[in-house]
Amino acid sequence: MPRLDEFGCQHLSGTAWAYSKLLLLDEPLLTSISAASRRRLAEFEPQNISITAWAFATLDVEDGPLMHAISAESLRRLGEFGPQECANTSWAFAKMSMLHFPLLDAISSAALARMSSFDHQGLANISWSFAPLGMQNDPLFEAISEASLTLLTSFLPCDLSRISWALASMPYFDVPLLDAISA
């Protein structure tokens, strides 16, 4: 912890990711990573921003100042976000039950523009992230459904479950996709 000021942006997000991947909740370390990250968030690559959000959400660490800083920086730089960064960031906010309309609307627009670049995991994760927050967005779900139909054979069981759950949780009902998942 005393050396976190020496860490690069990738090192800060990578350390948070490693602890979350191992499900090791070291609150003093995470508090220090949060403070160091907030000071340098403008220097983070989009991947580092989304990984940091994902890590804190995975460990259920409710760090309002960090998440508000992440949402502000994400909004500022969303044009640089790829599919994985969109999915990870929206997933993190959904996991923490943080309904941030401007960020989620912007992620939805960015995802729509990049839908052809999403893989099976990204499609499942972004659909799941909007459902628990009750964010009904028919154009987004139509695009997710269309893209999912073309990639359905590559979906893992967890992806099929996530996207089925998301469709069932939203008032959006896509018979062709649900029939394809069933088959």
Specify the pLDDT at position 147: 95
Rounded mean pLDDT, 155-166: 92
Nearest by Cα to 56 from 39, 70, 44: 70
Q: Count the Cβ atoms, other than its own, within 10 Å of residue 65.
A: 10
Specify the pLDDT at position 16: 97
Specify the pLDDT at position 130: 86
Residue 64 has pLDDT above 90, yes or no: yes
Contact 176, 145 (CB under 8 A): yes
Residue 158 has pLDDT above 90, yes or no: yes
Specify the pLDDT at position 104: 92
Q: What is the mean pLDDT of the chain?
A: 92
When pLDDT is cut at 50, 70 and 90, the band that residue 108 belongs to is very high
* Structure-block tokens of residue 138: 């028919």
96 contacts: CB under 8 Å, gap ≥ 6: 56, 57, 60, 62, 67
Residue 23: burial class (beta carbons within 10 Å; 0-12, 13-18, 19+): exposed
Higher-pLDDT residue of 68 and 5 is 68
Specify the pLDDT at position 170: 79
The domain limits of the chain are 1-98, 118-183
Reported pTM: 0.88
Specify the pLDDT at position 67: 96
pLDDT in tens, 14-52: 999 999 999 999 999 999 999 999 999 999 999 999 999
Specify the pLDDT at position 161: 92
Residue 110 has pLDDT above 80, yes or no: yes
Could you give the 3-state DSSP secondary structure of residue 148?
Answer: helix
Considering just the CA atoms, what is the radius of gyration of the chain in Å?
Answer: 17
Contact 69, 49 (CB under 8 A): no
d(CA 81, CA 79): 6
Q: Which amino acid is at 47?
A: Q
Specify the pLDDT at position 168: 84
- Which helix (H) or strand (E) is 78 found in, with range? none
Residue 173 has pLDDT above 80, yes or no: no
